[in-house]
């Protein structure tokens, strides 16, 4: 393992470890992305996103822009801990981050930059991220981590499929790429949640707690998620999709029950992750229900993305930032709790409220946009100084 005591901080703090630039970039982009989407949605602003419709741009950038930035920051930080090898830092990290940033800015310039140029920049970023994540793992022969790397590769291939669809090369490429991207992000979130949430609960609550993890749940839920992805994205077998999603709902409820203790409600950094996981389970339930009830597919999608990925990433970023800047993860700044409450409120408005009042669907969407922007704007105010400044304990990272 890395001996942190012997490491001497060098270079600009922002580029000492992957979580710093990518978490800051993700949070800023989360605000810009939804603000632009709000302008388009409310006022009907006619903006050109390198030939994409505003809806398609919004969907793509939420997955391959925002979520990818969080994934990049998390993996470049976690892999250093797992392998004991230094991941990208300094100039190499600057280059990777600038590629991500350029890919986000290209469709926003209004200069009608060719789609091929945007695609090359975006896919180059993802390819370099895959290489940067894979090298330390192979160097120490931690082949057990290749499952995570494989999901990262599939995420890159999903993005490539999207661009080929947008260019007219693959007829359904846009849809296949976007929905495959959602499933790959969900898969990454679930595997990381399985690793860290039980550990965080054991270490974070008062007294002894018995966490129950079941091997049969781990294996069956993974196999079924792969099946759901392939069946939902590439076939029209709605009944099979419904059955798979229903079983996944039950399996993940069993997993959540094994983790539960009433003491998590005293720790914001625990309940936010637990509730985010619950939104992913709600997404499976809504996917199962679509075959039987007249539900908008957007409800399940936003249960996965807004409530699941959005809330989970906000909670994970908060914990990583506090821990890796030398602060106390057990006593987070109180204002972070308000960030969690705002985003969870937006998720409820976006996913739950339309179930009872579909006639006000447009209003619920706009209100959820305000909640999202407020949550991330407040998050930036709290965490940006931590990300821009050196660790408070004088260590490197």
CATH number at residue 112: 1.20.210.10
Is 23 among the domain residues?
yes
Least confident range from 21-25, 93-97, 200-204, 335-339: namely 200-204
Is 393 among the domain residues?
no
Q: What does 184-238 look like in DSSP terms, one character per residue?
A: HHHHHHHHHHHHHHHHHHHHHSSS-------HHHHHHHHHHHHHHHHHHHH---H
Is 138 among the domain residues?
yes
For residues 269 and 275, the answer to whether their CB atoms sit within 8 Å is: no
Average pLDDT on 137-165 reads: 96
71 C-beta neighbours (distance < 10 Å), count: 27
- Specify the residue for token string 């076939």: 235
Is 5 among the domain residues?
no
What length is written for the chain? Answer: 397
For residues 77 and 18, the answer to whether their CB atoms sit within 8 Å is: yes
CA trace torsion 196, 197, 201, 204 (10° rounding) = 60
DSSP 352: T
Gyration radius from the chain CA atoms: 20
3-class state of residue 106 by DSSP = helix
For residues 252 and 220, the answer to whether their CB atoms sit within 8 Å is: no
Average pLDDT on 278-282 reads: 98
Residue 50 — pLDDT band, cuts 50, 70, 90?
A: confident
Is 3 among the domain residues?
no
Q: How many domains does the chain have?
A: 1
CA–CA distance, 21 with 14 (Å, rounded to integer): 6
Q: What does 262-277 look like in DSSP terms, one character per residue?
A: GGGGG-HHHHHHHHHH
Q: What's the domain range around 320?
A: 11-388
Beta-ladder partners of 49: 52
pLDDT attached to residue 233: 98
Average pLDDT on 270-296 reads: 95
The first and second tokens of residue 379, run together, are 């998050």
Average pLDDT on 18-29 reads: 98
Task: Kindly report the backbone phi and psi dihedral angles of residue 226, in degrees, each rounded to the nearest multiple of 5, phi listed first.
Answer: -60, -45
Is 205 among the domain residues?
yes
The first and second tokens of residue 250, run together, are 């039950």
Q: With 0.85 as the threshold, say if the pTM is over it.
A: yes
Is 154 among the domain residues?
yes
For residues 222 and 147, the answer to whether their CB atoms sit within 8 Å is: no
For residues 96 and 133, the answer to whether their CB atoms sit within 8 Å is: no
Is 243 among the domain residues?
yes
Closest CA to 31 of 64, 71, 61, 54: 61
pLDDT attached to residue 7: 60
- Specify the residue for token string 């099979």: 240
Q: What percent of the chain has pLDDT over 90?
A: 87
3-class state of residue 49 by DSSP = strand
């Amino acid at each position: 393992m890395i001996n942190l005591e012997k490491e001497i901080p060098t270079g600009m703090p922002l580029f000492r470890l992957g979580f710093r630039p990518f978490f800051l970039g993700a949070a800023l982009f989360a605000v810009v992305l939804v603000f632009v989407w709000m302008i388009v949605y409310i006022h009907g602003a006619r903006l050109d996103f390198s030939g994409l419709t505003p809806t398609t741009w919004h969907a793509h950038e939420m997955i391959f822009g925002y979520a990818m930035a969080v994934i990049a920051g998390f993996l470049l930080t976690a892999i250093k801990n797992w392998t004991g090898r230094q991941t990208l830092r300094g100039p190499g990290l600057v280059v990777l981050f600038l590629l991500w940033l350029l890919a986000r800015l290209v469709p926003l310039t209004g200069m009608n930059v060719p789609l091929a140029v945007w695609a090359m920049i975006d896919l180059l970023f993802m390819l370099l991220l895959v290489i940067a994540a894979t090298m330390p793992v192979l160097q120490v022969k931690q082949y057990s981590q290749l499952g995570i790397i494989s999901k990262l590769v599939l995420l890159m291939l999903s993005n490539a499929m999207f661009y080929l669809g947008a260019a007219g090369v693959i007829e359904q490429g846009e849809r296949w790429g976007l929905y495959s991207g959602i499933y790959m992000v969900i898969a990454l979130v679930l595997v990381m949640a399985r690793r860290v949430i039980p550990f965080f609960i054991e270490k974070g609550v008062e007294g002894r707690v018995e966490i129950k993890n079941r091997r049969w749940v781990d294996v069956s839920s993974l196999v079924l998620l792969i099946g759901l992805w392939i069946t939902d994205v590439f076939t029209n077998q709605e009944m099979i999709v419904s059955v798979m999603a229903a079983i996944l709902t039950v399996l993940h409820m069993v997993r959540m029950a094994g983790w539960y203790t009433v003491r998590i409600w005293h720790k914001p950094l625990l309940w936010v992750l637990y509730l985010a996981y619950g939104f992913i389970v709600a997404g499976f339930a809504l996917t199962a229900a679509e075959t039987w009830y007249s539900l908008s597919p957007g409800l399940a999608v936003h249960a996965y993305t807004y409530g699941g990925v959005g809330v989970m990433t906000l909670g994970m970023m908060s914990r990583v930032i506090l821990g890796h800047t030398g602060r106390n993860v057990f006593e987070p700044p109180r204002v972070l709790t308000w960030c969690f409450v705002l985003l969870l409120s937006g998720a409820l408005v976006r996913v739950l409220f339309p179930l009872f009042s579909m006639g006000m669907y447009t209003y619920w969407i706009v209100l959820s946009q305000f909640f999202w922007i407020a949550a991330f704007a407040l998050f930036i105010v709290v965490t940006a100084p931590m990300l821009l400044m050196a660790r408070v304990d004088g260590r490197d990272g």
